[in-house]
Structure 1
């Protein structure tokens, strides 16, 4: 069993950790003081004491506010997790009733997930939880970890590498890729051959502004290279380009099915081997047992499990069977 150093820990004012968490969340002495219920001078004094305890400046004033030092960033997540456990242990058991709850959840996600989830989620909330509002933010796979740690975001949804030890991750579904195109403009029909795939200009979606993706890695393995006509950070722009231009795009299968059904475009399996992709939820462990957050995650899981129309599944099965 882990042994607590009661003597050493007793010398630390645990209220300083509350002040530290507020400072890291707000990045402002004034706002952190208001969050905790202290005067500004008292919060400034707490910051000075924290700097002495940890032997580090922790927060440095910059042109756009106070910036945390590397040590402050390293301390932030474990301190927040510890405070959350203390709060859970000492507060009365909280109840959650979605029908009467009045709150806002902030979710970070790419637009490829937003177009599939948001309509169903908003419709569901209006029926069972009309007092719950959503604030959706563009998901950055790097910034999302900082946003979760600072409580700026409640839940991340997308394609993630593993988070840190204080992050929880649950896979919502795994999928592959599909090609989407306008057959009248590209002069090809499904299933797309490798020759047509290489002949046609491509539209690439990249959240990091790179002109290289998983398709390029797959083509490089067989000594081939594609032509990229357009790179965009927005998945929702792609079908409008494909509808009106003689180009092809390779997208996650669920969103590709959605756009093909909605806009009368054609789908085909890709003529190269591409890895499966896992779409996941990511959240801070301090909210793991929170009833409201548990309800949100289960609601998202159930809605994301909705299958595409069966007609599309049958077409894809036939197209895959026709591949050489």
Structure 2
């Protein structure tokens, strides 16, 4: 489609900025505060937007302002346009990690934070001191909305779904092992199935359910296990295992790391479990952003290395 410059010249870009804020906040007062204008000015912008799109866009309801179907359809394309404009204006032709100033918001489980965090921060302090990190817990049910709302730059974890505007890259695949305190349970690797079921287990579940992949595998064999505790936090599990005669079936990278530092033991799992895929997820509008691309490559490199690898070794910004 040819660009109608005369028609576009009548459009105030600030109106699109206001519309995005209104759709994000669903409140004239909060939207005004978000972009730093008065409430009356935002009300006037909403009136102009309603005339421009010939639609109410936001209507009052008992729960607050509710977007119309037309507004909902506009939300995602609008954010894409604004991101493109922002990138066009601010993107540096020559990205230099040593001098750039930027904050990245990463959403990830505590297991990945302990595996990647130390090497990531070591690298950034040495090579990109102007880049800061805001780390947040990942919530699977909300992460796509968080990416769409630009509240998260990158999500790391175990993702199986996304939409066409969400990009995904595999970081690594991991297997499972049994983590245990040999002194307390009196076992040594490899643990057999009967011994595996003789002791109670610790289950880590981000879905707040007392059922995991191990229980599915045992059900196929007509067996079951006893759970001592279920927790959403991976990092507490090794300390529970160190203190009590319980077993934990964990991702091998994390379990092996803690076994070495806490004097614990690991064993192959005596049931067949599929490997898990750890991925990185982001919004497609950041594909060509050089700083974002550099961060993705850095995380991919660090995730593919052994935990003992020097994190300051050369990391390419090419993709």
> TM tier, shorter chain?
0.7 to 0.9
2 CA distance for matches of 1:80 and 1:192?
A: 53
2 CA distance for matches of 1:92 and 1:295?
A: 13
2:111 corresponding residue in structure 1:
112
1:149 corresponding residue in structure 2:
148
- Does the alignment pair 1:136 with 2:135? yes
TM-superposed CA distance for 1:209, in Å, is 0.9
2:239 corresponding residue in structure 1:
240
Q: TM-score, normalised by structure 2?
A: 0.85
Q: Deviations over 1:203-245 (max 9, x none)?
A: 0011121101111111111111111110011100000000010
Change in CA separation of 1:50 and 1:195 when aligned onto 2, cut-off 3 Å: farther
Asked if structure 1 preserves the Cα contact closer than 8 Å seen for 2:178 and 2:267, the reply is: yes
2:259 corresponding residue in structure 1:
260
2 CA distance for matches of 1:270 and 1:242?
A: 16
Output the aligned Cα RMSD.
2.9
- Does the alignment pair 1:32 with 2:22? no
TM-superposed CA distance for 1:274, in Å, is 0.7
Aligned with 1:162: secondary structure?
Answer: coil
2 CA distance for matches of 1:123 and 1:259?
A: 20
Asked if structure 1 preserves the Cα contact closer than 8 Å seen for 2:119 and 2:302, the reply is: yes
Q: What does 1:55-204 correspond to in 2, within 5 Å?
A: 55=55, 58=58, 75-88=74-87, 94-204=93-203
2 CA distance for matches of 1:31 and 1:294?
A: 32
1:269 corresponding residue in structure 2:
268
Change in CA separation of 1:297 and 1:223 when aligned onto 2, cut-off 3 Å: same
Which deviates more, 263-272 or 18-27?
A: 18-27
Aligned with 2:98: secondary structure?
Answer: coil
1:223 corresponding residue in structure 2:
222
Aligned with 1:271: secondary structure?
Answer: coil
Asked if structure 1 preserves the Cα contact closer than 8 Å seen for 2:58 and 2:65, the reply is: no
Count matched residues.
Answer: 306
Which blocks of at least 5 consecutive residues in structure 2 are unaligned?
Answer: 310-319
Q: TM-score, normalised by structure 1?
A: 0.84
TM-superposed CA distance for 1:91, in Å, is 6.2
- Does the alignment pair 1:290 with 2:289? yes
